[in-house]
Amino acid sequence: MSNEMRALVKARPEPGLWMERRPVPAIGPDDVLIRIRKTGICGTDIHIWNWDDWARGTVPVPLVTGHEFAGEIVEMGRDVEGLELGQRVSGEGHLIGRTSRQSRAGRFHLDPETRGIGVNVAGAFAEYLSLPAFNAVPLPDAVDDEIGAILDPLGNAVHTALSFDLVGEDVLITGAGPIGIMAAAVARHVGARHVVITDVNPDRLALAAEVADCVPVNVAQEDLRDTAARLKMRQGFDVGLEMSGNQAALDQMIEALVMGGRIAMLGIPPGKSPVDWSRIVFKAITLKGVYGREIFETWYKMLAMLENGLDIRRVITHRMRAAEFETGFAEMRAGHTGKVVLDWD
């Protein structure tokens, strides 16, 4: 194995990413070295490419980016147990500490010391990734590498969708990006009655209708109340999954929910947004913030659902070689894609 590799690097504090030659990362006694096969481009990667305020305040330069991946274990530290050379894996991109109350209680996803691969430490847009063995997730035969490469965002969708009981419920999803679309598929898979997804991007709404058994609504052209009436919903939606990060969408969701409705909120409105808290109080709305995935309960559930018939493959709209990354980022930044998967072979 060469001691150098190709890697996509945030090499300069300005818009863009650059393909460079970098040393293959060394591993410690509790780590594995993963030969990367496929990676997914995430919305977070777009923020890093654009070098917006969040990225400037978060990402050290230079840094190998990327955190959605699937690959094969090619080297293991001396203390690693339970994994094998040649094993296909994806992995949890949140690196946790072990000293906080949350971590010691097993609530790893709430650990305040969390660091992200490809955001705070070297990531997966490379031919090789060093990862703590604790974070490696073996892939069953039913989950191939390209699906393995998008388990991170699918995990966000699963964590958000399973925040509340959806069986027999009417669900409103705001934001038809890839995670919103996958959340719609999850909601239907676990037994929701009506699933409605809203956006203003017709391409993404069309993709949502193709991938998930849901009702797409372009709120720039249609009244959400008309859709609810057509579905014979008497009071409103039971559960809202907010994926857009748009304040107007959240306001619309609050209005569309029943008394005592529940909202799981993954989207992040930019800056500080005005909220009419009286509507939340007087409608007795439960509002839950969602961050990442439950480590590792979400992983077990989403792998089980994939093995049990959950089909999200059509959310992948673009497949290309890693060398074509600029095209993939341009398509995503233009809003023309679902998930973009890069092939590092």
How far is CA 136 from its chain centroid?
Answer: 17
* Whether the Cβ atoms of residue 150 and residue 316 lie closer than 8 Å to each other: yes
**Which residue is catalytic, options 44, 160, 317, 337?**
44
| Tokens 């748009």 sit on residue | 246
> Angle 71-76-81 (CA atoms, 0-180°, nearest 5)?
105
- Is residue 30 classed exposed, middle or buried when 0-12, 13-18 and 19+ CB atoms within 10 A define those classes? middle
47 an active-site residue? yes
**Which residue is catalytic, options 47, 286, 318, 336?**
47
At 34 the three-state DSSP class reads strand
CB-based contacts of 294-302 (< 8 A; 24+ apart in sequence): 294/109, 294/159, 295/92, 295/94, 295/96, 295/108, 295/109, 296/92, 296/108, 296/137, 298/155, 298/158, 298/159, 298/162, 299/92, 299/137, 299/151, 299/155, 301/158, 301/162, 302/151, 302/154, 302/155, 302/158
Tokens describing residue 152: 């991170």
Residues ≥6 apart with Cβ < 8 Å to 21 = 4, 5, 6, 7
114 an active-site residue? no
Tokens describing residue 294: 């439950």
Closest CA to 300 of 167, 162, 177: 162
| Tokens 């993939």 sit on residue | 328
Closest CA to 313 of 207, 174, 234, 235: 207
Instruction: Please count the residues of the chain.
Output: 345
Catalytic residue list = 44, 47
